Amino acid sequence: MSDNLQSLNRAAVAEAIVAAHAGTFGRSDEALPSRVASSDHPIYLGAKDAVAMLGFIEVDAECIARAWLSQSERTGRFDAGAWPDAPEDFGLRNFPPGERADAFPACPRRLGLYAVLPDAAWVGRMARAGVPTVQLRFKSDDAAAIRREVFAAVEAVQGTEALLFINDHWQATIDAGAYGLHLGQEDLDALQPAELSAIKAAGLRLGVSTHGYAEMVRANKVSPSYIAMGAVYPTTLKKMATAPQGVARLAAYARLMRGYSQVGIGGIDEARFPEVLATGVGSVAVVRALVTANDPDATARRLATMIDEGVRG
């Protein structure tokens, strides 16, 4: 059977994949075949050409191409219509990840409305408004100010049911006794093994931002509590190294990472909630939709209800 797979034509493989999936992901007229190859197998080469034409960046094209080859070898046939979504084809460790011995503590499978907020005052306000998951994203170069704000945020959610994640400041998060920590990909990569072990030993839940297949594969290595996927739509709040992912990719990511709690993030406003929830993610993160609302408390309650009803539906 492997000889039959090896005899396939690279160009034909690419053409078949593009024909099957351009309607879902769109097609990039600027894409060129990759000059970097880790295999000479025609399925790998054709798949990598195809996903580049579908607009995926090099590192993600590499992941998908290798997964397509693995899928074909595992099933004994090449299927252009079967977009890879089996964890084993991406080289991911055993699923569900929560059963791994070194996994971070679990958080709810569906985190609901997830408010990303600039300071402790906003954290407290949204927690009291009934937002189930809140994150303090406090930006400062003043270490003392950071610690004060983290401790204040932990105090602000007392007496509510809100789960509080702190963005980036892992030592202050441990010291203050927050529920969890959220890290961007670069912040995760910068941690030393001993620091990651200290975060886990403290019992913190860990969330990790990802922006495509390659980053999801990297995040999976540490078995976090949840994975955030985006940016789904254009956002002006943060300079992004990757283009907006869109809901078609978000749905593909959700299928692959289905063993995790999942958060869709980036440029999501109220009108976009239904199509984001339709991808299967159990949580939607918002920033501007709350902090710029005329009535943030009422908006928070309405969005939380939309997610709850959308997830149940």
In the structure, what pLDDT confidence band is assigned to residue 311 with cuts at 50, 70 and 90?
low
Residue written as token pair 């702190």:
166
Helix 42-53 vs helix 10-25: crossing angle, to nearest 10:
30
How far, CA to CA in Å, does 238 sit from each of 35, 150, 226, 234, 253? 31, 21, 21, 10, 21
DSSP code for 7: T
**Which tokens hold the place of 214?**
């390659």
In the structure, what pLDDT confidence band is assigned to residue 231 with cuts at 50, 70 and 90?
very high
Q: Which amino acid is at 1?
A: M
Instruction: Please determine, for residue 28, whether its predicted confidence score (pLDDT) is greater than 90.
Output: no
Helices (H), the chain: 2-6, 10-25, 42-53, 58-75, 120-128, 143-156, 170-176, 185-190, 193-201, 213-220, 246-256, 273-277, 288-291, 296-312
How far is Cα 251 from Cα 302, in angstroms, rounded to an integer?
Answer: 24
Residue written as token pair 């079967």:
82
- Residue 124's Cβ-side half-sphere holds a number of Cα atoms within 13 Å equal to 13
Rg (CA), the chain: 21
Residue written as token pair 């943060």:
238
Can you say how many angstroms the Cα of residue 41 is from the centroid of all Cα atoms in its chain? 30
**Within 10 Å of residue 260's Cβ, how many Cβ atoms?**
28
- 100-126 confidence digits (pLDDT tens): 999 999 999 999 999 999 999 999 999
Average pLDDT of the residues in 152-160: 98
Q: What is 131-189 written as a DSSP string?
A: -SEEEE----S-HHHHHHHHHHHHHHTTTS--EEEEES-HHHHHHHT-SEEEE-HHHHH
- Which among 192, 178, 174, 188 has a CA at the least distance from the CA of 228? 188
DSSP code for 32: -
Average pLDDT of the residues in 236-264: 87
What is the per-residue pLDDT for 258?
94
- 42-77 confidence digits (pLDDT tens): 999 999 999 999 999 999 999 999 999 999 999 999
